[in-house]
Amino acid sequence: MSIDRLFSILAGRMDQYAVLPILYHFHWMEWDDLSFDWCLVCIYGLFAVIITYAVCVPLELWRPVEHWPNQKAVLVDVFYTLLNRVGIIPIVSFLLFYQVQTAFTGGLVDMGFIPPTLDSLIPGLFGHPFVTFWIYALILDFADYWRHRLSHTFRAWYALHALHHAQRQMSFWSDDRNHFFDDCISFLWFFVIGLAIGIPPLQFPLLILLLRFVESFSHANIKLSYGKLEWLVVSPRFHRLHHALRAAGHHSCNYGGVFPLWDIIFRTADFSPIWLATGDAKSPEALATGSYLQQQFCGAKMFFKALFAPKKKAA
Ligand SMILES: [Zn+2]
Ligand SMILES: [Zn+2]
């Protein structure tokens, strides 16, 4: 049985025994067409978390960069991950994206305009879905490079992104540690790009999981570099340099999420063979070790303060 088929069966069971009874109980029957897709998104998210956990935990135990006396600060990152990968956020994003994409492309088609896809722009790609996927991945990673780099450029935006950098106990759980407003900006950013280039919906779920895995893995507390392959895929050492504490929160290198290519092209790549401590010395302690709500509240306060009193430069 293929893994896609297994996920469909699991999503079907979850839909049948957990989601549909709730929808019927509350008379929300109009959602029952979409409930299977919600379940599928949750199952994929859960699978991604389990695989990442199974790979990273033994490696973090085997070759940790840092030993921590206790891992209390990591717990909140676990919560961020579950919320972002399995919880409500992917479902809302999924629903919103596909509803708007359908309405948007439907509206364009009604006006006699067929929105372009990569296959239609580059006819040679037609019938080569694997190549098309990697081109999509490169385009999305390029967009992510600039989203990330700009979030370090604007002071108010960095006030939100500081939450991601405040973690001194960086582990594979830290990838999803972001402010809710920052997640909304990312969502809008990719939403617009997705509409412009036409992301094939759930066509390559396993490859998308692989790319997300690279991002989680790059945060892991593992003394690992990829040697000569380091310029091809972002490694834990490469991303750690972006999170490096250094002089009070200055992060000026390695913005790439999956491919270091964009850092190389735009001259922000740093492949130094060093392992630095992580964190942001300028961040309030609540951002580093506070609870989820304390971090969100503190980040929002910093954001509005920076927005209405722009003085200093971003980190
Ligand atoms: Zn950053
Ligand atoms: Zn990061």
| Residue whose entry in the numeric block shows the structure tokens 């036409």 | 198
Cα 90 to Cα 173: distance, rounded to the nearest angstrom: 17
**Paired strand residues for 244:** 278
Q: What is the value of pTM for the model shown?
A: 0.85
Q: What is the distance in A from the centroid of ligand 1 to the CA of 249?
A: 10
- Give the pLDDT confidence score for residue 79 in this predicted structure: 94
Instruction: Tell how far CA 266 is from the center of its chain.
Output: 22
- Give the pLDDT confidence score for residue 36 in this predicted structure: 83
**DSSP strands (E only) in 32-167:** none
Triad 167, 280, 68: Cα angle to 5°: 40
- Give the pLDDT confidence score for residue 190 in this predicted structure: 82
Cα 305 to Cα 46: distance, rounded to the nearest angstrom: 37
Band (205; pLDDT cuts 50, 70, 90): low
- Name the residue with higher pLDDT: 69 or 206: 69
Q: What is the distance in A from the centroid of ligand 1 to the CA of 36?
A: 35
Average pLDDT over residues 19-36: 78
Question: Does the pLDDT at position 275 exceed 70?
Answer: yes
Q: What is the distance in A from the centroid of ligand 1 to the CA of 170?
A: 13
Q: What is the distance in A from the centroid of ligand 1 to the CA of 242?
A: 7
- Name the residue with higher pLDDT: 268 or 40: 268
Q: What is the distance in A from the centroid of ligand 2 to the CA of 125?
A: 33
Average pLDDT, the chain: 85
Cα 248 to Cα 285: distance, rounded to the nearest angstrom: 14
Q: What is the distance in A from the centroid of ligand 1 to the CA of 204?
A: 27
Cα 273 to Cα 100: distance, rounded to the nearest angstrom: 45
Q: Which ligand is nearest to the CA of 278?
A: 2
Q: What is the distance in A from the centroid of ligand 1 to the CA of 255?
A: 6
Give the 3-state secondary structure of residue 244. Answer: strand
Triad 244, 80, 138: Cα angle to 5°: 65
CA nearest to 176, candidates 53, 297, 76: 76
Instruction: Encode pLDDT of 164-201 as tens digits.
Output: 999 999 999 999 999 999 998 988 888 788 777 776 55
Least confident of 21-35, 59-73, 218-232: 21-35
User: Do the Cβ atoms of 79 and 291 come closer than 8 Å?
Assistant: no
CA nearest to 122, candidates 134, 105, 140: 134
